[in-house]
């Protein structure tokens, strides 16, 4: 099993490899054409971390709306904050709010189910047409700018592709409500990071919950470390006690299929 630390130069060092099982869903860092040319099969671990990542997305959103980072900071200071007189500056509730989910795969669909449990309205962006349970309205990527102004929370759960790279740029951020939050549990390059930093610094959006960044580890000089309207986690959304067991289940099934000379792999990419 391989993780996101893959380097395509490794292919020349393992000439006998015939199958690669990923520990993650993303495979944008693999040279697919070279794998095909060498007859190497590749399968990802889509679904293995659907529960973990969807829960993490909500943890980030709740941390922002309930001001948990501030509460933790105050705890360390032994400061008991009183009630905020300005009701618009207080913690907020999710019920009745609208969530826009970009990417409606396994993770996006589970996020939508959780959102419905919080009595939220859910809209989504997907590549192909067709209704999905728990989604009140579905649009295409071309409709992103028209849907963003409706959202109180924008959750990115899409793969990194040529179409999604830089999808959330300055124009998209300007289309969001000033009171809206951006949650990214997809891939860092889906967001134009300098544009996001500017939007957060100028309070163009209310805040961001970020599990992935353009460069990982995040550069020490990045303003994201210190912005008070950011909750940042180090790409750990899928790192739960169940993760390895879930991936091994997929690996064992694929090894069994290969032993039977099955042409179809579970989560097969190549």
Active-site residue, 243 included: no
- Whether 150 sits among the annotated catalytic residues: the reply is no
Residues contacting 106, CB < 8 A, separation 6+: 46, 47, 50
Catalytic site residue from 93, 216, 219, 242: 216
3-state secondary structure of 153: strand
Is residue 228 a contact partner of residue 201, using CB atoms and an 8 Å limit? no
What's the full length of the chain, in residues?
A: 270
- Catalytic residue status for 203: no
Give alpha helix (H) positions in 26-129.
Answer: 32-37, 50-65, 68-77, 106-117
Alpha-carbon distances, residue 58 vs 10, 104, 107, 157, 206 (angstroms): 37, 16, 12, 12, 16
Question: 56, 67, 106, 235: which is the annotated catalytic residue?
Answer: 235
Q: Using alpha carbons, select from 209, 238, 236, 239 the residue that is nearest to residue 224.
A: 209
187, 204, 242, 260: the catalytic one is: 187
Question: Which residues are known to be catalytic?
Answer: 187, 216, 235
């Amino acid at each position: 099993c391989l993780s996101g630390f893959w380097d395509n130069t490794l292919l020349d060092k393992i000439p006998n490899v015939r199958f690669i099982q990923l520990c993650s869903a993303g495979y944008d860092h693999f040279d697919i054409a070279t794998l095909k040319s060498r007859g190497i099969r590749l399968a990802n671990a889509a679904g293995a971390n659907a529960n973990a990542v969807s829960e993490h997305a909500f943890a980030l959103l709740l941390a922002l709306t309930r001001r948990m980072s501030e509460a933790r900071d105050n705890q360390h200071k032994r400061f008991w904050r009183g009630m905020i007189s300005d009701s618009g500056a207080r913690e907020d509730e999710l019920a009745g709010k609208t969530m826009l989910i970009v990417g409606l795969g396994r993770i996006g669909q589970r996020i939508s189910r959780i959102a419905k449990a919080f009595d939220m309205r859910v809209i989504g962006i997907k590549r192909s047409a067709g209704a999905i349970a728990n989604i009140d309205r579905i649009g295409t990527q071309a409709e992103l700018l028209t849907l963003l102004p409706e959202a109180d929370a924008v959750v990115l759960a899409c793969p990194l592709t040529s179409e999604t790279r830089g999808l959330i740029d300055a124009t998209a951020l300007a289309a969001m409500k000033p009171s809206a939050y951006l949650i990214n549990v997809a891939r860092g390059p889906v967001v134009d990071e300098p544009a996001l930093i500017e939007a957060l610094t100028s309070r163009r959006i209310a805040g961001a919950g970020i599990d992935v960044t353009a460069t990982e580890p995040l550069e020490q000089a990045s303003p994201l470390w210190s912005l008070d309207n950011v909750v940042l986690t180090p790409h750990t959304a899928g790192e739960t006690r169940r993760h390895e067991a879930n991936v091994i289940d997929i690996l064992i099934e694929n090894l069994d299929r290969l032993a039977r000379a099955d042409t179809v792999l579970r989560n097969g990419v190549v």
